[in-house]
Structure 1
């Protein structure tokens, strides 16, 4: 069975634009589209590029097979000449973009898609749906990872979102700094470490909490994590150590005043000789709750709902705009900058853009520089866009761990104020030259 087509992950008007452009003779004009955001979500100091690898897969599989063409024809969405054109569709242009895991700011040209108008316009919706979702999740994950410091984070939000969205969210969270996921589909598809032990239902299944703990330890070993807040936490901790001994791997707390309970549990564990037993906390955590637990004796955090919903910002508000097009269908015709000039904050800047990050004397990022002319010599080695697709072929696939490491490095290169959770402006200004 072949890889499913992504061609219908698009909007109706992409195809009607194509039909009209084919009829007008403008469909083959060389064009440049760019993905950018005009502003960051409130309170965010930087954005995180995530979903690039999924975009490359989607572009590669954007084909109109017989079943898709039949659907379009029966619904009379486009005419016969357009269906014939779509039957041979394969993106043959070039794509440049910020590498996955990189940070971005308002106006950053995150992705640049070049080719004919016809082949580029069809990709708008699928590219935006991936980048907007994944980048929003990665940004939330990054903020949570900053708040957590060296303590590992577990992604566990699969049951709080769409089943396929959960897999993408796990991938984005891993890029943003999470260490593992509870979602097995994400582990299978993207080789993300998976973890999990037992829920309250397992304790309630047994005749006593001691029986439940003993069954889990017998099955998973003394290094397992026992859930201790089904009934009475202090009594559960006592039983957990009695069953597993001081070699007990960890206890998990999923309710209550986590700061207070964590201190009490740590003291109880130490008094019972389980000084190496770790404490994991869950229960509707977000970056603010994680930051509030910085002084608590907590060893790991599990995050679900707030992560997979972008911690209140489920989209990155990216747009896909035509910024240049050829003066004629001749492949050698010069590119003409174009831009929307409407009022209401939805203007854009025309021209094929480059981007670079300027550093201060200490090597810390101080500005995002975006331009359409020659790149200044001082910024030549600081350019951000890399080629992802050349002549329709993907040229920049990479392991997910590379994107994860890139993000950690990019975030570390930002001013310290980037990690502040209070509302504020983007940590770097965007300068246009």
Structure 2
């Protein structure tokens, strides 16, 4: 390779593998430089270190078991994989006491409750089972335990290794013999052929009596099976299902007898269940209209003064409604007065078949002829409030009663806006769809 050497401060720039002179002065003298080729060194990959003889299987981070001899979850298995023939042993230590809230919160103590020589095992997937006994054959105390499986290879040069798994026999949720789910249905018969409205029945079950989250622990399930025992609908908690007679795929199920199942299982594997039969029937629901006027509002009063009206984020005290001076059995709402009312509806709680409901309020200003006084009332589940003013009756919108909830009661709130307003009576109108008779 030729090199141009500058006598007076020329700049050398590397371009690729060549050298060139830029912006130099005169008097350049060519020179020759010999470059010895570098000796090529062979590239060798470092040898991969052999993997430990034991490998951990993918399992739940921790497990529950119940070594009480009842035949349910009495032992816990520790799966592992051997990459080669090895001598296997097991050491079990209790976790520190604070690990009862979560097995990961504690650390293994130095105490050893069990040592086991499993013996020589060939390569492959293996499982070692522990039945909750110590070295003397006694059942260990409830708590969390770290199980460490150690493997020492035989023959091939592989490093020894170990894996650990935490198991827990201590839990806040253990089903007792007297605990079981309950099932509530709005009706025992369903009429999917109804065309005027969409018929559906409400099915619910109570919550688990306690417990903790665990991917292999407690579960609660609500399901519906046909006469052959095949599951047509199923869901885990929340334990409330509105069923319209369709399967999980959306297909209409045939008429006939079906069974609702509520199943619980705890962290120990104990299971309890309850079932109830329902019928998918032929025919259609029949419309029924119901209306009732309550001339004495105080008979329906459930809360007077202190309340949380719709749209408020915090409860605050309000003035109470008092005896009306204009209407003998009415109530008078002065400035900032507030009260809540309820009445029982003539259909079973949870029945979502009731189609529509509305509320009417009759009354007038506390001072007859006062055109500035008005009030408001807000039926539970309605999307807007009504504002009565002047003498007369104000009627709310119609709305579906499946917004009312699980009590079978209909409630509403009345409050004053300006001046004073007296309520004389309430009227509740109901359109109900009932099963056919006969």
Same fold per TM (> 0.5)?
Answer: no
User: Larger Cα Rg: Structure 1 or Structure 2?
Assistant: 2
Structure (1 or 2) with the greater helix fraction? 1
Q: Which has the higher contact order (CA 8 A, sep 6+)?
A: 1
TM-score of the two chains, using structure 2 as the length reference? 0.23
